[in-house]
Chains A and B, each alone.
Chain A
Amino acid sequence: MSSAVNDRRRINGPARSVEPIYTATVMDSVAAGRSDGRGLDHMRPIYAKAGPISDGQTTASASGSAFYEQGSIRISCAVYGPRSARKPNARRAHFVCDFQYAPFACSKRSHTQSTDEHETSLWLSNTVGPAIRLEMYPKSSIDAYVTVIESDGKMATLAATINCISLALADAGIEMYDTVAACSMGLRDSQWIVDCTHQEDAECSVLVAYMPSVDEVTGVLQTGKTTLEVHEQGVQLCTNVCVRVYAVICRALQASVE
């Protein structure tokens, strides 16, 4: 449901509009296996490209950029920096993530930056920030702008966003301890399923952001209720999958240099 507050800066539709109730062709339970035939621990195919908009072809191009696809999730990220910061006396760089969904990216539309996007921006800054060697760039700021063009599964999209930002930061040549790789899992019928799509989105899910080379976790996000043992199992499984995602990101970076 979207209610267009009379935004003077945009062309507005009607004040209130809702989605119609869609009938027929409803997906049944995941009991008979996943709809796209994947195994329980298989991620969707990833396509990652570093540097689509930062190749210096235009005069106002970004320092680093990345385009990331995972199944039907599509994310574009541009990194600007290090550039001069507003706080000239800071000893470390100021890293900020600006996260937004394209208006058509989700099943529900919204124009104004919802609290969800604000919260996600802050969480991303805190998850990817520790991987950057901020003390190497005093008095400067590094800005990452992320736009989700198409989303498919909330936690999976968040994980993909982290991967995309890591790729863009590496493309910008910013010094980091390691690229952050993330993956998410959903709990269904007491089984952890990797990389849930929108239809598979479960009540309980966990997301882990991990730096394989230094063996450190930068972020864990858990939604829903579960026991401590099941949660630990999920985090461990996630970490294992993160290593595979890390390999994909590294290969994409190699390809961009060649």
Chain B
Amino acid sequence: MASTEQLTFAIETFKRIRPVEFQRRFLSQDTRHDGRAFLQFRATHVVKGTIGTAQGSATVRIGNTTVVCGIKAEVSEPDVNTPDQGYLATNVDLSPICSANYRPGAPGDEAQVDSEHIFRLFGEVVDLKQLCIENDQAVWSLSADIVCLKSDGNVLDAAIIALMAAVEDLKLPQASLDPATGVVSADKAIETQLTLRKRLFPATFSLVDDAYLVADADDAEERLTTATLLVVLDDQGHLANVWKR
């Protein structure tokens, strides 16, 4: 029917040329443009062990946001000050693959800030002493890289969930140091998993248009967000981290 077709066409155009007004029409009626309630999160899917070349990996989808985390384990000498501790380096990779907002090349501001925050968060989760192979001589060095494949808002939550799942999935082969040659050999037949100190559960809330508090904002809502709050709980229900930005 002519009139309904015109109406459909107008909605798409309205969304493109007046994005703020478009969102306000929904938010002022106590709902959101995808039909969710204000404090409703999108369906989250977590799959572990998706990358064969990595020792631990996970793929997480929150709505349309897709993030992959891969952990590679290598061996190195420990730091002089902490001879029985290994390393865990976490990095978030936001590239033009996921959104036109990011430039290719070195990590931009958002990626650097997210990497640093996640690094500090996971210092509480992984006990670096478990990564020791031979005191003062050889330790595991874990490099966790979180690559965003598609960005539809709330990449940080997805990154934390992905890293958490990847660390749970991590399987380290049994390693031993040959004192004569100084070479570390690893046996893939025997694998151990890490015992984690705690498990983290993140939740992001955004203040959209300076007036509406919504959970798990998607890309359209993030563009109108004036403030964001990340709350991380651990498995005992204690507050692990609160971050307002």
Contacts and interface: CB of A to CB of B under 8 A. Distances in A.
A90 to B, nearest CB: 21
Q: Contact residue range for chain A?
A: 35 or more
Interface string B111-141: 0100110010000000000000000000001
A52 B150 contact: yes
Contact of B99 (A1, A52, A60, A105): A60
Interface in A208-252: none
B91 A20 contact: no
A189 B70 CA distance: 36
A150 interface: yes
Nearest to A113: B105
B202 interface: no
Given A10-B115, A13-B76, A109-B74, A24 B89 contact: no
Contacts, number: 162
A80 B96 contact: yes
Interface stretch (B24-32, B51-59, B193-201): B51-59
B141 A14 contact: yes
Nearest to B100: A60
A62 B90 contact: no
Nearest to B19: A59
Given A59-B220, A98-B104, A19 B52 contact: no
A78 interface: yes
Contacts of B19: 59
A19 B7 CA distance: 61
A86 to B, nearest CB: 14
Interface string A85-108: 000000000000010101111110
Interface residues of B, number: 61
A149 B175 contact: no
Nearest to A198: B53
Interface string A137-157: 000000101010111100000
Interface stretch (B40-48, B181-189, B235-243): B181-189
Instruction: Give the dominant DSSP class at A's interface.
Output: loop
Contacts of A152: 52-53
Contact of B185 (A4, A12, A22): A22
A52 B119 CA distance: 30
Contact of A20 (B53, B93, B186): B186
B87 interface: yes
B151 A14 contact: no
Contacts of A17: 74-76, 87, 141
Given A21-B183, A23-B185, A149-B147, A58 B53 contact: no
A100 to B, nearest CB: 7
B103 to A, nearest CB: 10
Contacts of A120: none
Contacts of B189: 24-25
B97 interface: yes
Contacts of A100: 95, 104
B97 A78 contact: yes
A147 B187 CA distance: 31
Given A22-B173, A152-B52, A58 B76 contact: no
Contacts of B11: none
Interface in B147-170: 147, 149-153
Contact of B107 (A4, A10, A20): A10
A58 B220 contact: yes
Interface in A34-53: 52-53
Contacts of B186: 20-23
28 contacts: A9-B106, A9-B112, A10-B91, A10-B112, A17-B75, A17-B141, A20-B173, A22-B188, A23-B185, A53-B98, A53-B150, A58-B218, A61-B99, A61-B100, A62-B96, A78-B97, A102-B93, A103-B93, A104-B53, A104-B70, A104-B71, A104-B145, A106-B53, A109-B143, A113-B105, A145-B97, A145-B104, A152-B53
Given A1-B74, A102-B147, A145-B96, 14 more contacts: A13-B143, A14-B78, A19-B75, A20-B173, A23-B187, A25-B189, A58-B152, A59-B219, A62-B96, A102-B70, A103-B93, A104-B53, A111-B91, A145-B95
- Nearest 5 CB-CB pairs, A to B? A104-B70, A17-B76, A20-B186, A17-B74, A60-B100
Interface of B: 19, 51-54, 57, 64, 68, 70-72, 74-79, 87-91, 93, 95-101, 104-107, 112, 115-116, 119, 141-143, 145, 147, 149-153, 173, 175, 183-189, 218-220, 223
